[in-house]
Amino acid sequence: MSRTTSQRTVRLAVLTGVTVLTMTAAYAVTQYADASQTPAPPASTAANRQVTAPAAQQSARPTSHTSVTPANPASTLTPTQGPSQAPEHAEDTTLAASRVDSTQLPDSAEQKWKELAPPSTRKLSQDFQLNECVKVHGATAWQQQGFISAHKTPAVQDSLAFQDEASARSAFRQVLADMDTCEATSRNLQKRYGLSADVEVGRTATVTDGAAWSRTWTAVEGLSAPGAQANHIYAVQRGAVLVLLHFDEWDTVTPRTYDPAGDADVLATLSR
């Protein structure tokens, strides 16, 4: 297969079957030239539910690294499609209490994380999909905060509110189950696209109401940026809220620097 230059697109989170305002898109898309042998996903995949975030909106949530253009945008959203700017409710206050700032993110000394914009909150009635492995059902509201590193790589915190603590607990347990099978899920995806099955997924830390994982693999473009990378994933239940955090290290951008031995501290931060 000939090597082609593509624009790399990374999906940070998506509402299944729902389009989101460009400025509050559930995708972060990064444009930088990259020689890639990774085949593009078929038209039926979630990769084609992307949005185009204009360069003029680089501060848009969750992250916009330089100018941004998805590889195969299915639509460009209009401002009327975004979350409403409704008055704050108790649910929003609960979500805000779970938020971390850039200095509390993993590997902050090396990554030099910066917030891209104030967090955005919207009501939720569909499933929330975090990555190729994790889908969350039953959340009623969603708050997302995007960050960008000095290496132009993304981190995203997603906080999901539920009707009650029992519902959040059920969702957390489903995240645990999904991540426990993530290696097999990711390997099947690699095989489907003709890539070497090099994925490794392992739990790196566990607390009473939280867990962390590391996934290293040659990713398929779509929900992830293509190419060799490490994904660091965190999940914590705080009462009726499920807090999800993830950040990526892309081998084509910079050597990996993060030591997952610090993941227990990350979970402690998210649990406070």
Residues 6+ apart with CB under 8 A from 37: 1, 3
Comparing 29-43, 121-135, 176-190, 226-240, which segment has the lowest mean pLDDT? Answer: 29-43
Q: Using the 8-state DSSP alphabet, how is residue 262 labeled?
A: G
With bands split at pLDDT 50, 70 and 90, how would you rate the model's confidence at 100? confident
Report pLDDT for 89: 60
Rounded to an integer, the average pLDDT of 79-94 is 48
Domain count, the chain: 1
Write down the pLDDT at residue 209. 95
Instruction: Find the range with the poorest average confidence among 37-46, 209-218, 224-233.
Output: 37-46
What are the residues whose beta carbons fall under 8 Å from the beta carbon of 222, sequence distance 6 or more?
11, 41, 45, 46, 47, 132
Does position 115 have pLDDT exceeding 90, yes or no?
yes
Q: What pLDDT was estimated at residue 91?
A: 66
Judged on CB neighbours under 10 Å (0-12, 13-18, 19+), 86 is exposed
Q: Which residue has the higher pLDDT, 51 or 204?
A: 204
How sure is the predictor about 173, in pLDDT bands with cuts at 50, 70 and 90?
very high
Q: Does the structure show a pLDDT above 60 at 268? A: yes
Q: At 242, list the tokens.
A: 């499920």
Question: Which one of 51-65, 93-107, 142-156 scores highest in mean pLDDT?
Answer: 142-156
Say yes or no to pLDDT of 204 above 50.
Answer: yes
Cut 0.85: pTM above it: no
DSSP state of 67: S
245: nearest Cα among 35, 66, 104, 38: 104
Nearest to 41 by CA among 130, 132, 135, 155: 132
Q: What is the mean pLDDT of residues 231-255?
A: 96
Rounded Cα–Cα distance for residues 241 and 91 (Å): 9
Least-confidence region, from 42-46, 149-153, 230-234: 42-46
Contact of 35 with 3, CB cutoff 8 Å = yes
**Domain of 32, in residue numbers:** 4-271
pLDDT at 98 over 90: no
pLDDT value of residue 152 = 93
